[in-house]
Chains A and B, each alone.
Chain A
């Protein structure tokens, strides 16, 4: 354990799948220097194969106290090569359409809005993903160079770009497949939780620029912070795939959905998203978390107060981020 741990709660009832976070991260970190194919932060539609494709089947993480084997995603098939467009066709003779120079085979949002089920009972929701800055990071242990470490002051997991030799054991070991190999630099890279921004008192680009206001950032030991309250007190924020054993520090408020519809068009009192699917992602606590959300929403509906709802509403954008230093940059 580090002295302090910074974490994030992402509210899936406020994440609207717009990918503004994805692009905020991209223009902050990954639009250059061999990182073009990487999305340190992305939003995938669930159910779906996700990004990289079928990452949940790619292994990694812990099996008790030993590392589970993992495989490396393929560039073209699993990440998707970052499409390039020949805009010059628009200034040339002929009817050539503006298209990717090479057809896309996969991408970070390939599954967008597809989900599962049958009309009118199909279902989907959005799942933003980034490095979980785990408390028991498999990547750190897998690195033979000991290039990966957790910062004492905030628990951020970093890959020392001077020590890293690009072996990619970490890529395979991360069960969330959130470490990427930079073929230009010959090193592995990943989400750095925007530590250069945090150090200037500015929240992570993905969180600060989240137009859905879905992300809360706080230290876990901050009793006043949304992390402590949502994770420990209200127990409505849950880690993704806790069974991977890495002890993630990104938590999710699970998604609500409208009820199912019967064959005659009647609204049924049945959940649209099968419980077992949500349990598979967020563990056995998900039922209680959803029930808590429904109960507190019902209170508001009746005109009563609800601290939990007020916390999730987040009346002031600035209050969603509790960092340990004042803002230094404009």
Chain B
């Protein structure tokens, strides 16, 4: 409805005020209606209209780990409404079912897809970058020009200068396959998304060699104790939050550890209010209590952890085979065997011939000091990892850590007791924890707490974010080797981020809080670059799919300018005009969640693999195309250019293929690109891709797309678990293969690992879990942290009209009323948030839930929603953690399980009335 029309009519409402006097009942209750009820057809007809004439299924393939099956209704080719499929089967009569999965974001996509920021046509920049002058062009013209310029880059500078990156706006197996395959054929760079967005759980990586581990979230239901650490699932895991509340009704004790009284605290048994960024001290005090009171599951830690491993007291390093024998191995480690009264190699380490954790006759000592004869006959004084851990934890009694954390010792004692006495306890680590430098340590210490108390397998343990294993996708997404780059490290260098770190954090302050300074970071960055750590230089051509890079990165404009200054061509492929697309040379309009076939099954919160099947007869929105069609179009246009210029296959000697006994460089053949992309014409479109995946991923067997047409999903089979089988009738728990079958872990020690003697760890006293931080510089009085929001999946749906009406329409921050009053700031006032890195303006919402020492703001508002389009990351200084940079030590080697984070929550700010 037109606004003017609405207001004209609504003047009735104004006049109506005059009617607001006392009212008198005119008659007693009408027993029966006066008229007939035929008018009721009015709403019945409306209902049928929303139900439409066609029905499809969809999930929302953004960086949301919810993965919920929805019905999508359409009428006359236009989507009318969506409703959760709500048909997931119950896996066991005593476990609540998963229905109806789907939240406030998913439910507005039928509006979002037709909203005014939807990209409808290919646009070409007609002014300076970011100036906002656009020219509408045809697909043919856009693809031809882009292809020409990308071919120029490839032929003149080589494949490493091209980045083809699909961001976290599309994280499914179907739609994501297009950009992955194109980038792979061309040898382009792509970033590791989890580290680009700062979602690495490096504390879990240290302990298990796995960043993503844990349970399906129905595993909450029968837990005895649940610790929600820096995670706010009532807001951020909406489809699974019911399992928490049902667990509480089922007798679970729930703790939330958070500086603010967030919504999850309301639903908890106990809220543990902690000062921002001091979590590592709390974790260490928990270890202190567990060790002080002897809450140690002896059999578990002897077999499943490296706690009995011997540590040299002279060098502070693990005792290795090479210490005892000339030409000894690097990856064989020792225990002190109480049975034989001497050192013995531990089975199950990578270098040991026994590939099992079974100890046999060994009785590894947990404690003690010993002397062992070295390879030169010298006596080496040794102790155990357990002794080191115990000595470190002894430094953190809860009555002393209270001064730092604000957490009362009684609460620490109670948590430790509940962890120790629970049959099943789960510690959920939220993404916010590793947004502090100390996060690695907090998480590592929490993992140790679970190890001491034997929480693994069906007894619970650490839950970071569990994912399923899906095999067989390689031939589709990675037909040729390409440049897989560290996300955080590339963005750090591409965005020249050290500058703002140096501005915001003094070296003295860093040394005092983190134990390292900017020179240490600089040195380690240089070392990583020299050793060729997963970094391929600043790209000159960027094809960016569904990634809001210039919204996400810290320092905002500083990062953006650094990246753009190196780009000859920047193409943004997206379904909406986001803060990154605004700066592109070309914007290509993509289909969104309901418009192309898609499939997603890797998300481990539940076992259901959802399939998007658009409603029959759905009309295209503008000239949008699927990512697959766009990549195919680009392939065809590049082949045309290559044929016209007679470009022969380009050798890419960074990657070799073995042919017989000869190694030859991988060839990037532009002329055959469309044929290679479609695999000889078999993968023509998005539907072909989904069908291919369902046929080739073994965890999806035996299901077909026709099965998915019933309710929008299929069920993964028992092979989907990485570290345990996925049983049909039980929630998934991690590490059953290790705990019950004694398979080694994917760590340097083959066990849950709590000792790391990498030189950087050794130099800074980080060999065992310890406390560091917070880094927050005292130059500005308030901590600034930006948790995940209820109102978007990062920036997706952040500009949705329906959702903004349920907020305040524009960016606001949360301020404690006392903090606001001290600055003469009131509810809904505009304030300037500033520090030495930048500033932005937002409204104030007075929140007694927020600690007086902090400014809290929902993350991921689009910069273009702020005044002058300057967003909240303007005040967040660059920071990376020295703990996350070391590379090339056992399992600490770049991979999806070892990479770092852009540290987001350590900056400090001040606030004043604008």
- A91, B132: Cβ atoms closer than 8 Å: yes
Contact among A23, A100, A210 with B100 in the assembled complex (CB-CB below 8 Å):
A210
Task: Report if A13 contacts B (CB, 8 A).
Answer: yes
CA distance A181 to B16 in the complex (A): 10
Chain B 138-182 near chain A by CB (<8 Å), digits 1 or 0: 000000000000000000000000000000000000000000000
- Nearest CB on A from B807, distance (A): 7
Task: Report if A71 contacts B (CB, 8 A).
Answer: yes
| A97 and B864 in contact, given A67-B23, A209-B84, A316-B97 (Cβ under 8 angstroms) | yes
Smallest CB-CB separation from A108: which chain B residue? B806
CA distance A95 to B864 in the complex (A): 8
Chain B 48-60 near chain A by CB (<8 Å), digits 1 or 0: 1011000100000
- B846, A114: Cβ atoms closer than 8 Å: yes
- B3, A208: Cβ atoms closer than 8 Å: no
- Nearest CB on A from B378, distance (A): 51
Smallest CB-CB separation from A17: which chain B residue? B263
Task: Report if B33 contacts A (CB, 8 A).
Answer: yes
Task: Report if B681 contacts A (CB, 8 A).
Answer: no
- B residues less than 8 Å from A209 (CB atoms): 83-84, 86, 100, 102, 107
- B261, A107: Cβ atoms closer than 8 Å: no
Smallest CB-CB separation from A152: which chain B residue? B32
- B25, A16: Cβ atoms closer than 8 Å: no
Residues facing B in A282-303 (CB within 8 A) are 297, 299-303
CA distance A90 to B157 in the complex (A): 34
Chain B 513-529 near chain A by CB (<8 Å), digits 1 or 0: 00000000000000000
- B residues less than 8 Å from A212 (CB atoms): 238, 241-242, 245
CA distance A195 to B44 in the complex (A): 8
CA distance A303 to B93 in the complex (A): 17
CA distance A256 to B414 in the complex (A): 20
- A residues less than 8 Å from B48 (CB atoms): 196
Chain A 134-148 near chain B by CB (<8 Å), digits 1 or 0: 001000111110101
From B299-307, B719-727, B797-805, B881-889, the one touching the partner chain is: B797-805
Smallest CB-CB separation from B246: which chain A residue? A313
Task: Report if B17 contacts A (CB, 8 A).
Answer: yes
- Nearest CB on A from B722, distance (A): 28
- Nearest CB on A from B397, distance (A): 15
CA distance A303 to B248 in the complex (A): 13
Residues facing B in A178-209 (CB within 8 A) are 181, 183-184, 186, 192, 194-197, 199, 205, 208-209
- A75, B10: Cβ atoms closer than 8 Å: yes
CA distance A297 to B6 in the complex (A): 50
Contact among A67, A85, A146, A196 with B43 in the assembled complex (CB-CB below 8 Å):
A196
CA distance A265 to B914 in the complex (A): 35
Chain A 75-95 near chain B by CB (<8 Å), digits 1 or 0: 100001011111110111111
| A113 and B134 in contact, given A83-B801, A84-B801, A141-B29 (Cβ under 8 angstroms) | no
- A122, B848: Cβ atoms closer than 8 Å: yes
Residues facing B in A148-162 (CB within 8 A) are 148-149, 151-152, 158, 160-162
From B185-193, B456-464, B685-693, B808-816, the one touching the partner chain is: B808-816
| A315 and B10 in contact, given A23-B107, A146-B30 (Cβ under 8 angstroms) | no
- A162, B802: Cβ atoms closer than 8 Å: no
| A112 and B807 in contact, given A19-B104, A28-B47, A265-B402 (Cβ under 8 angstroms) | yes
Task: Report if B530 contacts A (CB, 8 A).
Answer: no
- B34, A142: Cβ atoms closer than 8 Å: no
- B3, A116: Cβ atoms closer than 8 Å: no
- A122, B251: Cβ atoms closer than 8 Å: no
Contact among A33, A104, A114, A142 with B847 in the assembled complex (CB-CB below 8 Å):
A114
- Nearest CB on A from B16, distance (A): 5
- A264, B408: Cβ atoms closer than 8 Å: yes
- B40, A158: Cβ atoms closer than 8 Å: yes
Task: Report if B603 contacts A (CB, 8 A).
Answer: no
- B25, A183: Cβ atoms closer than 8 Å: no
- B810, A181: Cβ atoms closer than 8 Å: no
- B19, A172: Cβ atoms closer than 8 Å: yes
Task: Report if A24 contacts B (CB, 8 A).
Answer: yes
Residues facing A in B468-515 (CB within 8 A) are none
Task: Report if A232 contacts B (CB, 8 A).
Answer: no
- B250, A211: Cβ atoms closer than 8 Å: no
- B residues less than 8 Å from A315 (CB atoms): 90, 93-97
CA distance A199 to B32 in the complex (A): 20
Chain B 749-784 near chain A by CB (<8 Å), digits 1 or 0: 000000000000000000000000000000000000
From B109-117, B429-437, B894-902, the one touching the partner chain is: B109-117
Task: Report if A117 contacts B (CB, 8 A).
Answer: yes
Smallest CB-CB separation from A141: which chain B residue? B25
| A97 and B39 in contact, given A29-B46, A90-B577, A120-B261 (Cβ under 8 angstroms) | no
- B17, A116: Cβ atoms closer than 8 Å: no
- B12, A297: Cβ atoms closer than 8 Å: no
| A208 and B809 in contact, given A90-B582, A119-B852 (Cβ under 8 angstroms) | no
- Nearest CB on B from A303, distance (A): 7
- A265, B806: Cβ atoms closer than 8 Å: no
Task: Report if A312 contacts B (CB, 8 A).
Answer: yes
- B residues less than 8 Å from A312 (CB atoms): 249
Task: Report if A314 contacts B (CB, 8 A).
Answer: yes
- B271, A258: Cβ atoms closer than 8 Å: yes
- B residues less than 8 Å from A87 (CB atoms): 115-117, 577, 799
CA distance A211 to B66 in the complex (A): 12
- Nearest CB on A from B848, distance (A): 4
- Nearest CB on B from A120, distance (A): 5
CA distance A14 to B238 in the complex (A): 11
From B360-368, B615-623, B700-708, B865-873, the one touching the partner chain is: B865-873
- A163, B34: Cβ atoms closer than 8 Å: yes
CA distance A87 to B218 in the complex (A): 40
Task: Report if B904 contacts A (CB, 8 A).
Answer: no
Hey, which bits of chain A sit against chain B, CB under 8 A?
Answer: 13-14, 16-20, 22-24, 26-29, 31-34, 36, 66-72, 74-75, 80, 82-88, 90-95, 97-101, 103-104, 107-110, 112-120, 122-125, 136, 140-144, 146, 148-149, 151-152, 158, 160-163, 166-169, 171-173, 181, 183-184, 186, 192, 194-197, 199, 205, 208-213, 255, 257-259, 261, 264-267, 297, 299-303, 309, 312-318, 329-330
Could you jot down 15 A-B contacts, CB within 8 Å? A74-B13, A97-B866, A109-B806, A113-B263, A141-B28, A163-B39, A171-B16, A183-B12, A184-B9, A211-B238, A213-B242, A258-B266, A265-B406, A266-B410, A267-B410
